[in-house]
Chain A
Amino acid sequence: GAGVSQSPSNKVTEKGKDVELRCDPISGHTALYWYRQSLGQGLEFLIYFQGNSAPDKSGLPSDRFSAERTGGSVSTLTIQRTQQEDSAVYLCASSSAGNQPQHFGDGTRLSIL
């Protein structure tokens, strides 16, 4: 498709399980971002990939969170040993360059039981 695609759209899992969230950016976009949005809150920056540069991981809240971007395209955000406070909507965005408009996917709603 033409936009940013995220999967799954919803994920419910038990506390302690690992989860993987996927993001397909817009074709040709070199920059990719992951954000977290808790209920009624703003955007919390998690991680930023720009081309072949080392990712900016400064927003990852703990070492249970990691992300990869393979081949400069698809990205996977992994949360290990999930906790209830990880419940949130995880949003992915991509842009053609670091200061260009970011285009968002519809997010993955993660619920930890």
Chain B
Amino acid sequence: GEDVEQSLFLSVREGDSSVINCTYTDSSSTYLYWYKQEPGAGLQLLTYIFSNMDMKQDQRLTVLLNKKDKHLSLRIADTQTGDSAIYFCAESRSTGNNRKLIWGLGTSLAVNP
């Protein structure tokens, strides 16, 4: 996962917006993903964006993709304490005849009341 980079920590106040950033390396990546992991649980798919899109919105979540800079961001509006978790970015990368996901190390989001 060393080629997908994320900041490790983010702290916000409840009600504010959170923006989690990610940079990736493979310009041929077809899909880019955001996953959420709560303590003691597996990873939950939050949202994903196809590489021919610039933006995707899903309720409180907005994903922005800048292909030129290979930069992906996840914005969470009106952040709640229940949003406290680790957020992983992943890119779909070609490996020979297959594609697999390359993962960032995760951003730990702390929401303060």
Contact = CB atoms under 8 A, between A and B. Distances in A.
Interface of A: 4, 33, 41-45, 48, 50, 53, 56, 91, 93, 98-107
B100 A48 contact: yes
A56 B88 contact: no
A62 B106 CA distance: 25
Question: Chain A interface mostly helix, strand, loop or mixed?
Answer: loop
Contacts of A102: 33, 43, 45, 101
B interface SS class: strand
A91 B43 contact: yes
Contact of B105 (A42, A45, A100, A103): A42
A53 to B, nearest CB: 7
Contact of B97 (A33, A44, A53, A105): A53
Nearest to B41: A106
Contact of B42 (A99, A100, A101, A104): A104
20 contacts: A42-B1, A42-B104, A43-B1, A43-B88, A43-B103, A45-B100, A53-B97, A56-B95, A91-B42, A91-B43, A98-B92, A98-B98, A98-B100, A99-B92, A100-B31, A101-B31, A101-B33, A104-B35, A104-B43, A106-B41
Nearest to B48: A101
Chain B contact patch, size range: 20 to 34
B42 A105 contact: yes
A71 B105 CA distance: 33
B7 interface: no
Contacts of B45: 101-103
A99 B97 CA distance: 12
B12 to A, nearest CB: 20
B81 interface: no
A106 B88 contact: no
B57 interface: no
Contacts of B31: 99-101
B42 to A, nearest CB: 4
Contacts of B98: 48, 50, 53, 56, 98
